[in-house]
């Protein structure tokens, strides 16, 4: 089987700037990939069967994003090939790091090549949006300023940085955060895409911290090293450092039992040339 990377993402900021008539929220956010994530293993098969080799506990195949991505690609193209799919899961579920979305995007990009489909990147992004709002940016494959529900993407270049990412022991329900009556939904929209770290904030953070106080505890500890923020709808939090050495030095000071990792920012997805 061939191994394919599915990197984590950070939302360096996340603003909710409005709400559509269908209830979906309008966002502005800055995405950056990390050199840390899951690994997807794929082997094509000729019989059209999509088989998960190590299903996630408690998640039926039809709800698994890897399975759904492969099946969607089959249905969209009429492809009669199948695939065995395995997953080495390192990213926490409900952490705001885009794990499931990244896995699905990697499946789309890998099978597009393995099945000889040759769909253009834009078409894969459109398919990805049917699986989840974060899937298109992983197919897009670049650090990006995103608008709409996350599907309008503009590539940006960011300065090199390393990150301490902490993983509080809670699984945040994204839907509950977005539907919370206390969520700010009218942050003024930016006119010009941001080109550096440190701008903006995360509108979802106060709601998530109120619902899961441990997120606030992790933020307060990490904030001693700089501007600590939550990514996505949580629960993971992060802070940027100018280099790997300083990030690892800060991470080494964390209290016993506080889990996480250190990673470098990536401006280009490791599978960029596969899409």
Which is catalytic among the residues 9, 38, 103, 203? 9
pLDDT at 234 over 80: yes
Residue 227 bears catalytic tag: no
pLDDT higher than threshold 80 for residue 196? no
Model confidence at 22, pLDDT cuts 50, 70, 90, reads: confident
In 98-200, at which residue ranges do the beta strands (DSSP E only) sit? 144-148, 152-155, 162-166
Domains annotated on the chain, with CATH = 1-275 (3.30.230.10)
Q: Which one of the listed residues 38, 64, 103, 134 is annotated catalytic? A: 134
For residues 193 and 142, the model is more confident at 142
d(CA 124, CA 105): 8
Mean pLDDT in residue range 230-236: 97
- Specify whether the CB–CB gap between 59 and 102 falls below 8 A: no
Q: How much is the mean pLDDT over the chain?
A: 95
Phi, psi dihedral angles at 265 (to 5 degrees): -75, 145
Give 84's strand partners.
43, 51
Say how many Å lie between the first and final Cα of the chain, rounded.
Answer: 19
Structure tokens at 27: 């966002």
Q: How would residue 241 be classed by pLDDT, with cut points 50, 70 and 90? A: very high
Query: d(Cα 167, Cα 131) in Å, to the nearest integer?
Result: 25
Asked about 191 being catalytic, the answer comes back as: no
% of the chain exceeding 70 in pLDDT: 100
* Model confidence at 24: pLDDT above 90: no
Residues in the chain, total: 275
């Amino acid at each position: 089987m061939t191994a394919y990377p599915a990197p984590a993402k950070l939302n360096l900021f996340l603003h909710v700037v409005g709400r559509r008539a269908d209830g979906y929220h309008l966002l502005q956010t800055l995405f950056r990939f990390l050199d840390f994530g899951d690994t997807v293993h794929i082997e094509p098969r000729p019989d059209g069967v999509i088989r998960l080799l190590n299903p996630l506990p408690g998640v039926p195949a039809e709800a698994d994003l890897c399975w759904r991505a492969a099946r969607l690609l089959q249905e969209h193209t009429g492809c009669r090939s199948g695939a065995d799919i395995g997953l080495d899961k390192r990213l926490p579920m409900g952490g705001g790091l885009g794990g499931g979305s990244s896995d699905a995007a990697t499946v789309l990009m890998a099978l597009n090549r393995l099945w000889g489909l040759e769909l253009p990147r834009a078409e894969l992004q459109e398919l990805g949006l049917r699986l989840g709002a974060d899937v298109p940016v992983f197919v897009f494959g670049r650090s990006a300023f995103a608008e709409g529900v996350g599907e309008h993407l503009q590539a940006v270049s960011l300065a090199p940085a390393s990150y301490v990412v902490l993983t509080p022991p809670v699984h945040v329900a994204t839907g509950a955060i977005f539907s919370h009556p206390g969520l700010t939904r009218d942050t003024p929209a930016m006119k010009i895409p941001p080109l550096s770290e440190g701008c903006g904030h995360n509108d979802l953070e106060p709601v998530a911290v109120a619902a899961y106080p441990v997120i606030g505890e992790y933020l307060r500890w990490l904030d001693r090293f700089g501007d600590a923020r939550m990514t996505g709808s949580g629960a993971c939090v992060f802070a940027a450092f100018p280099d790997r050495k300083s990030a690892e030095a800060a991470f080494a000071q964390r209290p016993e039992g506080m889990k996480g990792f250190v990673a470098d920012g990536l401006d280009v997805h490791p599978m960029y040339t596969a899409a």
